[in-house]
Amino acid sequence: ELKVEQNPLFLSMQEGKNYTIYCNYSTTSDRLYWYRQDPGKSLESLFVLLSNGAVKQEGRLMASLDTKARLSTLHITAAVHDLSATYFCAVDQNAGNNRKLIWGLGTSLAVNP
């Protein structure tokens, strides 16, 4: 059974600092997703990582995927308050036509002035 572990679960950081969120998963998968959720809101797609070594960047966020290590990272560069949110990674479990996501518990990020 596919399991997804995120760490840390809670992260408080100062503006301008860098930090990395880690996402480990237990079995092979061909797709990994990162989502952002603001309080009381739905999920916003950040990145879709499809292959080993994939790296994607959007603004101060950069995501990477190492399928051999079953590890994805979400790196935050020079954090700003607007990045405060909960970040989820999710891994596609594909069983024939029944593709579904297995989720990490999320990382609650607070960026403080």
Partner 1 sequence: SQTIHQWPATLVQPVGSPLSLECTVEGTSNPNLYWYRQAAGRGLQLLFYSVGIGQISSEVPQNLSASRPQDRQFILSSKKLLLSDSGFYLCAWSKGNGYTFGSGTRLTVV
Q: Any contact of residue 39 with partner 1 (CB under 8 A)?
A: yes
Q: Any contact of residue 88 with partner 1 (CB under 8 A)?
A: yes
Give the rounded distance of the alpha carbon of 9 from its chain centre: 11
Q: Any contact of residue 2 with partner 1 (CB under 8 A)?
A: no
Q: How far is the CB of 16 from partner 1 (least distance, A)?
A: 27
Which of residues 63, 86, 89, 111 is near partner 1 by CB under 8 A? 86
For β-strands 71-76 and 98-103, DSSP reports them as unpaired
Which of residues 42, 51, 68, 113 is near partner 1 by CB under 8 A? 42
The answer to whether 3 and 25 are in contact (CB under 8 A) is yes
Q: Any contact of residue 87 with partner 1 (CB under 8 A)?
A: no
3-state secondary structure 31-86: CEEEEEECCCCCEEEEEEECCCCCEEEECCEEEEEECCCCEEEEEECCCCHHHCEE
Q: Which residues contact partner 1 (rule: CB under 8 A)?
A: 31, 33, 39-43, 45, 48, 50, 86, 88, 90, 97-101, 103, 105-106
